[in-house]
Amino acid sequence: MPGGRSRARSSDLGLPESERLRHIAWDIGIAAVTERLAAALDAVAVMQRYSRLVIDCNRESSVEASIPPLSEATTIPGNIGLAAEQREARRREIFAPYHAAIARLLDARRAAGRRTVLVAMHSFTPIFKGVPRRVEVGVLYNPDARDIRMQQILLELLRAEGDLAAGDNAPYAINP
């Protein structure tokens, strides 16, 4: 989209530009936040340049929602009636290289004996399907993971800001 980020290079998916510029098509603002965070932490940022409407690289590629026919209340014409070969082409050409790049970085760090924390960045809208969200920033993680110390520390730091509504697995889980 703006600045070349997250634009579906393969097509416009049958959507007018006004829809492609909305949050349904890309994570507005998250590229700049990710770049600043990576610079502050001397970390590597791996960024996906395709719209999540082409294929959402933050979902398992095998699930239907990875190539959504509907996003919020907007029909995505270019995703309706895709043949298995078309879905596989998106997985192979977009999803797989993105995850392979991440795997290479993680493998290199492991081989060098470097400790690693993997953080996936995502933005969300303050209102979804007409319902206001109660959080401004969310820390999402698997609560059944062996070690959630980093997530808990991050939540404490965010909440210490005082004027920031930080959600524990929110807005996506019922645990605000």
Residues with Cβ < 8 Å from 80, sequence gap 6 or more?
69
Domains and CATH numbers, the chain: 2-113 (3.40.630.40), 124-176 (no CATH)
CA distance 46 to 97: 11
Which H or E element spans position 131? strand 131-132
| CB-count burial class (<10 Å; 0-12, 13-18, 19+) for 60 | exposed
Per-residue pLDDT of the chain (176 residues; tens, 9 = 90+): 333 333 334 579 999 999 999 989 988 889 999 999 999 988 999 999 899 999 999 889 999 889 999 998 899 999 999 999 999 999 999 999 999 999 999 999 999 999 888 888 888 888 888 888 888 888 988 888 888 998 999 999 999 988 888 989 887 764 43
pTM for the predicted model, two decimal places? 0.81
